[in-house]
Amino acid sequence: MITFKNIEIKYDDFVAVPNLSFAVNEGEFFTLLGPSGCGKTTTLRALAGFLKPTQGSIEIAGVDITAMPIDERQVGMVFQSYALFPTMSAYDNIAFGLKIAKKSKAEIDTRVLELAKMIDLTPEQLAKNVANLSGGQQQRVAIARALAKKPKILVMDEPLSNLDAKLRKSLRKEIKEFQKSFGITTVYVTHDQEEALMLSDRIAVFNKGQIEQIGRPQQIYNESATEFVCKFIGEANSLTAADLAKLGIEVSDASASDAFYVRPEKVSFSRTASAVNRIAGQIVGKEFYGMYGYYQIEIAGTKLISFQRESKAEQHRNGE
Ligand SMILES: Nc1ncnc2c1ncn2[C@@H]1O[C@H](COP(=O)(O)OP(=O)(O)OP(=O)(O)O)[C@@H](O)[C@H]1O
Ligand SMILES: [Mg+2]
């Protein structure tokens, strides 16, 4: 559906994206994930047409759109900062593109009401000036506006990052649901790994303008292709072959420079001696995270971190 072929994007002499190639399938929820400054927004802007690549080509449904004007691309865009018209009502914001396209009043009305229903805006909210809506409501308006002209592709640049944690979680669930039910091909940008894991069919992990790995969320998390991906997508214990030997774990063909990674939730411990593959250790640090405890444990001179569920009976203390 979308193909980036050897795309280079420069800001004057600065190469933000050196040589980027990837493909997004029809109907897919595809996420660009990476740290600040890695080129996510730059890549999205090139897809939407706000930026011209200096090399390479972009295709949508087999058509080369590299030089196509923004409004012919049929790409709907949602920005981090809403970018709504502040003096207009929610209704007029959503209707804006349709009015420019000279649609009839009746047609606009039907479409706006259909969109409002889809993204859960009440008629009262539609009538309000957007400046008087909450952040979450404003972002719903922005999504409805992006979808108004029935784009082939929806692109969203960190649409939830200005919202508080609770709203972020509920709105991302809604985004997932409407994307699934309408099947619109979506390219989503975030630097929040949990958001990427929860929303995406596939994730492209970016680092310095390049893709380190593309895969399903489970692959990215459990079969990280590089150390950067492994550490960016979650926490990980990094061990050398010598550490493993001290822990009594044998690995064939390991060289001294190899690194081994274990997710903290895979390291569990208990006072009782019933577990298999068990080895004695000591808790040297603990932070309480509510549902989970974040422990530092030392085993045979090696420090490991462990997330462990905190049931009342199994509370552990520093020094145990
Ligand atoms: N208008 C610009 N002029 C010059 N350099 C720019 C411009 N916009 C972005 N850059 C640079 O290009 C690189 C990629 O920026 P980009 O905005 O794509 O990153 P990002 O991954 O979206 O980051 P963030 O998560 O902070 O939004 C950065 O090094 C940035 O400083
Ligand atoms: Mg950005």
Asked which of 18-27, 162-171, 198-207, 249-258 is least confident by mean pLDDT, the reply is 249-258
Q: Which pair of structure tokens corresponds to residue 250? A: 């044998």
pLDDT band at residue 191, thresholds of 50, 70 and 90?
A: very high
pLDDT at 143: 92
Instruction: Count Cβ atoms within 10 A of the Cβ of residue 290 and give its class: 0-12 exposed, 13-18 middle, 19 or more buried.
Output: exposed
Query: What's the gap in Å between 36 CA and the centre of ligand 1?
Result: 8
pLDDT tens, 287-303? 888 888 899 999 888 89
Q: Which pair of structure tokens corresponds to residue 21? A: 């190639």
Q: Which pair of structure tokens corresponds to residue 184? A: 């619109």
Determine the longest span between alpha carbons in the chain, in angstroms: 75
Mean per-residue pLDDT, 109-118: 93
Q: Which pair of structure tokens corresponds to residue 280? A: 């004695």
Mean per-residue pLDDT, 24-50: 96
184 near 151, Cβ under 8 Å? yes
- For ligand 1, whether the C-beta of 42 sits within 6 Å is yes
Query: What's the gap in Å between 144 CA and the centre of ligand 1?
Result: 27
Place of tokens 């706000």: 50
56 near 5, Cβ under 8 Å? yes
Mean per-residue pLDDT, 113-139: 91
Q: How far apart are CA 291 and CA 175, in angstroms?
A: 26
pLDDT band at residue 57, thresholds of 50, 70 and 90?
A: very high
Query: What's the gap in Å between 97 CA and the centre of ligand 2?
Result: 24
Q: How far apart are CA 98 and CA 149, in angstroms?
A: 7
Mean per-residue pLDDT, 17-41: 97
pLDDT at 274: 64
Which ligand lies nearest to the CA atom of residue 34 in the structure? 1
Contacts of 110 (CB under 8 A, 6+ apart): none
pLDDT tens, 9-19? 999 999 999 99
What's the chain's average pLDDT? Answer: 91
Q: How far apart are CA 132 and CA 141, in angstroms?
A: 12
Q: How far apart are CA 23 and CA 139, in angstroms?
A: 27
Domains along the chain with CATH numbers: 2-231 (3.40.50.300), 235-314 (no CATH)
For ligand 1, atom 11: residue with the closest CA: 16
Q: How far apart are CA 272 and CA 284, in angstroms?
A: 18
Q: Indicate which atom in ligand 1 lies nearest the CA of residue 32.
A: 21
Query: What's the gap in Å between 38 CA and the centre of ligand 1?
Result: 7
Smallest CA-to-CA distance from 201 within 181, 180, 225, 226 is with 180
CA dihedral 32, 67, 13, 21 (to 10 degrees): 40
Instruction: Tell me the C-alpha to C-alpha distance, in Å, between residue 317 and each of 3, 124, 213, 219, 285.
Output: 53, 53, 39, 34, 8
pLDDT tens, 59-87? 999 999 999 999 899 999 998 877 899 99
